[in-house]
Amino acid sequence: MKRTQAARGVTVCRMTSQAAAAERLVPFKRGGGVTTTQRSKPMGRVRQAGTAAEEAVAVWLREHRLGYRRNVRGLPGRPDFANRRAGFAIFVHGCFWHRHPGCVRTTTPTRNRAFWEEKFAANIARDAARLAELEATGLRTVLVWECEAHDATALDTKLALLLEPRRAHPRVAAGSRA
Mean pLDDT by 10 residues, the chain (178 residues): 55 56 50 64 64 89 92 90 92 88 87 89 93 92 90 89 66 50
Q: How far apart are CA 83 and CA 70, in angstroms?
A: 9
Can you give the pTM of this predicted structure? 0.67
Confidence at residue 163, expressed as pLDDT on a 0 to 100 scale? 82
pLDDT at 51: 81
Question: Class of 52-168 per CATH?
Answer: alpha beta
Domain ranges for the chain, please list them. 2-44, 52-168
* Strand ordering across the sheet containing 88-93: 69-70, 81-83, 88-93, 140-145
